[in-house]
């Protein structure tokens, strides 16, 4: 199995991508696993959902290009992109606190998963970047839209359009990384959420609902789907396929 879902002490539910050999890249099985974890996190005995990756090298390197590069047309791409975008939207509006525990590199779709979470705790030196522009596409799982909800618009636009990779410490000062730690562990999450984990869960859900109502008023879901469609259109262009071919050749 390419993922694990484990209940920890104090009501934490931990979803881990267990594809260390693939730098924890997302495939369809990981998508289904994350969907299951989000559903389980709605249970009364769960106080918060934590998402992380196996090992110490990568949180998530985005979509598995060895699988998704088989998608050539706009509609083929849209099917995959919209599936993950719906999952990340469900993650964003989950009525429980959510934490991306960034244990290593988070690039491309990995950053989009992190953007869907309420909080981001990252290991010192972890590399992060919305690198999609270098592959001649945009964010396609809703991550660009969510990033613009999570941080200052000018900072978000810079991160998206530069398509560069940064260290976690560089993103701490703009507030997108909430805490930088020596070692990414569940203990760090417990310390970060210490007060929340001892609070009545109905209070936490009520505050999340305030945020969700705002997003409903500004049609977050519709804006995410527009982002997906734009990415799918770019995905079908020859520039993207050539960029992915070059990337795969470089890393083979």
Task: Count Cβ atoms below 10 Å from residue 88 Cβ, excluding itself.
Answer: 24
What CATH number belongs to 3-197? 3.90.226.10
The bridge status of strand 105-107 relative to strand 58-60 is parallel
Q: For the chain, what is the mean pLDDT?
A: 96
Count of beta carbons in the 10 Å neighbourhood of residue 129: 22
Which pLDDT tens digit goes with each residue over 76-98?
999 999 999 999 999 999 999 99
Whole-model pTM?
0.97
Q: Contacts from 90-93 at CB under 8 Å and sequence distance 24+?
A: 90/35, 90/38, 91/34, 91/38, 91/49, 91/51, 91/116, 91/117, 92/116, 92/117, 92/142, 92/146, 92/215, 92/220, 93/208, 93/212, 93/215
CA separation for the pair 107, 27 (Å, rounded): 15
User: What pLDDT, on the 0 to 100 scale, is given for residue 173?
Assistant: 84
Q: How many CA atoms lie within 13 A of 201 on its CB side?
A: 16
Q: Which band of pLDDT confidence, cut at 50, 70 and 90, is reported for residue 9?
A: confident
Measured at the CA of 176, the angle between CA 123 and CA 187, to 5 degrees, comes to: 40
């Amino acid at each position: 199995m390419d993922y694990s879902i484990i209940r920890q002490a104090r009501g934490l539910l931990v979803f881990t991508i267990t594809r260390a050999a693939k730098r924890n890249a997302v495939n369809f099985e990981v998508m289904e696993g994350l969907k299951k974890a989000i559903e389980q996190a709605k249970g009364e005995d769960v106080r918060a959902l934590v998402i992380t990756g196996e090992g110490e090298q990568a949180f998530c390197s985005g979509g598995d290009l060895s699988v998704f590069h088989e998608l050539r047309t706009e509609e083929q791409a849209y099917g995959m992109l919209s599936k993950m975008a719906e999952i990340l939207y469900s993650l964003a509006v989950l009525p429980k606190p959510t934490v991306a525990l960034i244990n290593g590199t988070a690039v491309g779709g990995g950053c989009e998963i992190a953007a869907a979470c309420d909080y981001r705790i990252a290991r010192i030196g972890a590399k992060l970047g919305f690198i999609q522009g270098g592959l001649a596409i945009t964010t396609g799982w809703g991550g660009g839209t969510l990033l613009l909800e999570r941080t200052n618009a000018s900072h978000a636009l810079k991160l998206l359009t530069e398509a560069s990779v940064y260290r976690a410490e560089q993103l701490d000062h703009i507030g997108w990384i909430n805490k930088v730690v020596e070692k990414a562990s569940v203990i760090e999450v417990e310390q970060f959420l210490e007060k929340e984990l001892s609070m009545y869960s109905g209070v936490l859900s009520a505050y999340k609902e305030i945020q969700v109502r705002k997003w409903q008023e500004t049609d977050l879901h519709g804006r995410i789907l527009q982002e997906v469609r734009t990415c799918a259109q770019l995905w079908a262009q020859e520039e993207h396929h050539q960029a992915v071919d070059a990337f795969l050749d470089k890393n083979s």
